[in-house]
Amino acid sequence: MNAQVKRAFRYRFYPTEAQAAELSRTFGCVRKVYNLALQERIDAWTQRGERVGYDATSALLTAWKRTEELAFLKEVSAVPLQQTLRHLQAAFTHFFAKRARHPRFKSRKRSRASAEYTRSGFRWRDGELMLAKMAEPLDVRWSRPLPDGAVPSTVTVSRDAAGRWFVSLLCEDPSVTPLPAVDSAVGIDVGIDHLLVLSTGEKICNPQHERRDRAALVRAQRALCRKQKDSVNRARARVRVARVHARIADRRSDFLHKITTRLVRENQTLVIEDLAVSNMVRNRNLARAISDAGWRQFRQLLEYKAGWYGRQVIAVDRFFPSSKLCSACGALVATMPLHVRTWTCDCGTTHDRDVNAARNILAAGLAVTVCGAGVSPQRNTPGGRSAMKQKPCGASLGTLLVHEREKVNL
């Protein structure tokens, strides 16, 4: 890792009435241009079989500004409008590469209200940030300093559903360097009763942020349901609901940031399961608890922080029987219902279900690493199940798993 790592530093700010009005107009114009360009690209493909790229949509934007119907696009800065066309181009690139779904139209009520400014659209001087089309700098609450000598390359302004305003500054952070190498490795089993169970035996509790605020959320949602649609009172009630959700999300994010930072600092290798969270939340009995735990966010934070600081994250196959496998002798139990939290193997070893799973996850991850195999699951295997990619090597994966299991149990 080098000094070219870019980080986004997000801060709250409090706009004046004039700034709020200007930004709201910008958000609307950004959404309008995105939808118009998306419709043009869809029409070009369905009617003429043509692919329209960024250059063509940029030329269309110039033409739209000259029309009487869309003349209001000239009232806001042109930089966010050009940036939304680039975002649309990136969305189609991901779609054609089969990494994402087809781009969808932005909604005034549901889509994120944001606008991105490049260096030609803002001025950064002496710790003050001024955006194009504005007469005074933003009132930003600098909760933490930017890196020394950092100059933002892009600035993204957004407003969330709770009415809070944020500004995100993307800049290079020279302080992000690889940490000194350590010999420790850890297997991590995620759960609901305990958010994380480590192969060391440590259990990290699940704060259950949504459950703690569930009573307040229920009251706010019931009050919202009683309000007349499209009324001012309903809009105010909607904001109150959004504030409860924002408080829950902020607490969850803060907790996950702290725990992932600690794990990355303490361990050189981190082994997790490649869980299909989007499929798991279809279980109506567990969907709320899984969403509250934030398993997907935990993995995202862990992976990018490991990349920053020179650590390794290994994801073992989701179908690996970590809970049913004895970490001492390797015996496989036929069934293991969810209500069974402790069990005794035929070898006489009594296991805590989650600790045993974490140890098996660690052993499997280290075995795959020793074998020189890939760590991502292979999707297209017979029977539709995924399996760990394995390159030919002198020892079988099963033999390596036994050796690594013995190391873990030392």
Beta-sheet pairing, 350-352 with 377-378: unpaired
C-alpha span between 288 and 308 (Å, rounded): 32
Count the neighbouring beta carbons within 10 Å of the beta carbon of residue 10.
Answer: 12
Q: Which residues of 152-161 are buried (b: 16+ CB within 10 A; e: fewer)?
A: bebbbbbbbb
Q: What are phi and psi of 232, to 5 degrees?
A: -65, -40
Residue 343 identity (one-letter amino acid): W
Q: Which one from 273, 292, 317, 404 is the annotated catalytic residue? A: 273
Whether 172 is catalytic: no
Nearest alpha carbon to residue 287 among 299, 278, 300? 278
**Do residues 344 and 333 lie in contact, with contact meaning Cβ atoms separated by under 8 Å?**
no
Q: How far apart are the first and last CA of the chain?
A: 33
> DSSP character for 96?
H
Beta-sheet pairing, 185-190 with 269-273: parallel
**Do residues 130 and 176 lie in contact, with contact meaning Cβ atoms separated by under 8 Å?**
no
Tokens encoding 133? 């089309």
Q: At how many degrees (to 10) do helices 17-48 and 78-96 cross? A: 40
Q: Which one from 116, 210, 292, 354 is the annotated catalytic residue? A: 354
Beta-sheet pairing, 350-352 with 6-12: unpaired
Whether 193 is catalytic: no
> DSSP character for 325?
B
Q: Which one from 22, 189, 210, 404 is the annotated catalytic residue? A: 189
Q: For residue 190, with 0-12 CB atoms within 10 Å meaning exposed, 13-18 middle and 19 or more buried, which class applies?
A: buried
**Do residues 367 and 401 lie in contact, with contact meaning Cβ atoms separated by under 8 Å?**
yes
Nearest alpha carbon to residue 294 among 188, 192, 204? 192
Q: Which residues of 123-138 are buried (b: 16+ CB within 10 A; e: fewer)?
A: ebeeeebebbbbeebb
Whether 273 is catalytic: yes
Question: Which residues form the catalytic set?
Answer: 189, 273, 354
